[in-house]
Amino acid sequence: MKCYYDLHMHSCLSPCGSDDMSPNNLVNMAKLAGYDIIALTDHNSSLNCPAAVKVGENAGITVVPGMELCTSEEVHIVCLFSTVEAALNFSGYVEEKMMKISYSRDIFGNQLIMDENDNIIGTVDHLLNVASDISANKAVKIVSEFGGVCFPAHIDRPSFSIISNLGMITEDMGFCNAELTALADREEYILKYPILENMRLLTDSDSHYLENIPDAARYIQLEECSAECLVNYLRQPPKL
Ligand SMILES: [Zn+2]
Ligand SMILES: [Zn+2]
């Protein structure tokens, strides 16, 4: 079936995400915008995924639990999981692999954990969008050990991307997918980085604010619109 997707979205847990990106606001706005499946990928944490997944179940839109991992090279990698439990296990692992830097909420913004009714049930007191000590070329192996799948985020951006920070994507990194922003010229990127020819190229919004969520425009074909089907689909290289 056709599933309109956006696999990279932030909530009020990301310091750079708006406090208005509560689980209910985010999920219902995505539903209104026409998505069938979205992923919640806050920086280095999945702690708002339990609430967002529950809201999605009630609203009739699939929410995939995930995270945007910041590697030791400050490369952003979208990590997605079939279950909340797997995402939280990975989140706990990443928590141990991050520097704990205290920060000013006035400068960086809040990092709010909410329940499925948008009540604040906690905060994270160390800055989440910092490097972990997980390297980009170990990401696929580690994330798959936790039952997930991952791909480099916004590879056409001039910062925090695998190409800006490492200069390339190599086969031994093991990625089957890569994310380009909506602004990228796909053909130009494929010509410049031929490895992309053999990869599935996804485009997500990386929304941090409700008003950033664009109308659904891209779909993938899944057997069913579930987190499990999506993760299995993304694990397989594209059929060329
Ligand atoms: Zn990013
Ligand atoms: Zn992001």
- For the domain spanning 2-235, the CATH number is 3.20.20.140
Residue ranges with CB less than 5 Å from ion ligand 1: 76, 153
Q: Which sequence spans correspond to the domains of the chain? A: 2-235
Local confidence pLDDT in tens for the 240 residues of the chain: 999 999 999 999 999 999 999 999 999 999 999 999 999 999 999 999 999 999 999 999 999 999 999 999 999 999 999 999 999 999 999 999 998 988 778 788 899 999 999 999 999 999 999 999 999 999 999 999 999 999 999 999 999 999 999 999 999 999 999 999 999 999 999 999 999 999 999 999 999 999 999 999 999 999 999 999 999 999 999 987
CA 153 – ligand 1 centroid, Å: 6
> 211, 20 in Cβ contact below 8 A?
no
pTM for this entry: 0.97
Give how far Cα 3 sits from Cα of 27, 87, 97, 131, Å: 15, 22, 34, 32
Strand order in the sheet with 76-81: 148-152, 76-81, 62-70, 37-40, 2-9, 219-221
CA 68 – ligand 1 centroid, Å: 7
